[in-house]
Amino acid sequence: MLEKLANIFRIPDLRKRILFTLGLLAVYRLGGHIPTPGINADKLQQFFEQNRGSFLGFVDLFSGGQLRRLTIFALGIMPYITASIILQLLTVVYEPLAKLQKEGELGRKKITQWTRYLTVILSAIQSLGIAISLQKGGDFVVNPGPSFTLMTMLTLTTGSAFIMWLGEQITERGVGNGMSLLIFAGIVVGLPRAVADLIDKVKTDAWGAFTAPAMLILIGLMIVVVAFIVYVERSERRIPVQYAKRVVGRKVMGGQSTHLPLRVNAGGVMPVIFASSILSLPPMIGSGLGLKNSRYFGGLFTALQWGEPLYTLLYAVGIIFFAYFYVSIVFNPNEVADNMRKYGGFIPGIRPGKRTSDFINEVLTRITLVGALYLIIISFIPEWMIAGIHLNHLPGAAGAFFERLPSWVTNGLGVNFYFGGTSLLIVVGVAMDTVT
């Protein structure tokens, strides 16, 4: 193992890329210690501690714990991810944008530029919502007023734009996907604090007689989830491909057998991140506009809280949708079938051309559904252990049934989201992708 690590640093280009990546990640973490001006940090920390098992704790996970301190990087990469989703969806439904995407490098650069502009706009909207919410919510602001609102908008929007630049630089000149690595770094840095909080709960006997079983269940669940993630992420469906012999000049080409690998979870962690970022928008915007306690919209925003039945349903549907959507972007069965036919390849028992494309698409559809269900299981079961199953809010007999369940089932164990399936999926998935 040590020999392999030493070999990595003997390759000049790879060594340069790794050091560049580590340097930018250090800059990202440094920014996580610079607070936004005018914030009562102690009050804000206390508020997040009281709501660690809520939707706020889940959003704080993706910011690397910076939202609870409201640092200059508090928005994290959520605005960029949301902007990317919107632009990618528009390329499907808006024909001029779809044509622009097919124009090669120039078209992709144009779409990337629009994504940056939209990121800044979304960051400004979210920072406005945060500034208004903080001034309405309690003693979080030292000197509330228009100057604080403007300063917060300017600080958080600039920080979000800088994070976007960091991620792009890591992707281009470093190792791995920059945006995924930024989330990865935030989660890993927050793990020691989460472990310390868990130890405090054990010392104070937070769950009473259930403390020991709760710890065993939580640790066992983490081990099972990590093993399950590694197994599925390495799983693939291999379609056999045969290449016919052909004569090129004086050489005989082809004649060998190979396979077309299709990953069960081709989208990786992106469907979960996409679904989470989309569902995080309504509560944040609603809080900023004061709609959370509205007579007409209050019930809707309550239903969109983490663990509520409506949120659970929309989250599951979102993961399935983005799993298929992401695969449709990164993998084109028609192009694969055309390339196979061009080089004399064929799938045994399947005619080249459209039949091959349809067969690949059919297989891809089935395994993508399996991958989406896997993501739902990984995302939901541990989070239910942490934040509880709020199905007791269902109407009628169903709600009454869940109301009779133990409190640790309906209210959760109240530990940090760093022990949840989503965080474990991101950490394990990004680590495996980066190493690969």
What pLDDT is attached to residue 392?
A: 64
Rounded CA separation 20/295 (Å)? 52
Rounded CA separation 433/436 (Å)? 5
Q: Of 210, 254, 263, 252, which is closest to residue 372 (Cα–Cα)? A: 263
How many helices (H) and strands (E) the chain has is answered by: 18, 5
Question: b/e for 71-86, b at 16 or more Cβ within 10 A?
Answer: bbbbbbbbbbbbbbbe
What pLDDT is attached to residue 382?
A: 62
Rounded CA separation 80/120 (Å)? 8
- Low-confidence spans in the chain with pLDDT less than 50: none
Rounded CA separation 322/385 (Å)? 25
Angle, helix 55-62 to helix 270-288, in steps of 10 degrees: 120
Q: Which residue ranges make up each domain of the chain?
A: 1-174, 203-436
Asked, colleague to colleague, whether 1-174 and 203-436 share their fold, the answer is yes
Q: Which CATH number fits domain 203-436: 1.10.287.130, 1.10.3370.10, 3.40.50.620, 3.10.105.10?
A: 1.10.3370.10
Rounded CA separation 283/301 (Å)? 6
Rounded CA separation 282/381 (Å)? 24
What pLDDT is attached to residue 319?
A: 92
- Residues 101, 108: contact at Cβ < 8 Å? yes
Looking at 343-395, list the stretches that DSSP marks H as alpha helix, in order from N- to C-terminal side. 354-387
CATH number of 1-174: 1.10.3370.10
Rounded CA separation 127/149 (Å)? 8
Give the helix/strand (H/E) hosting 198.
helix 178-203
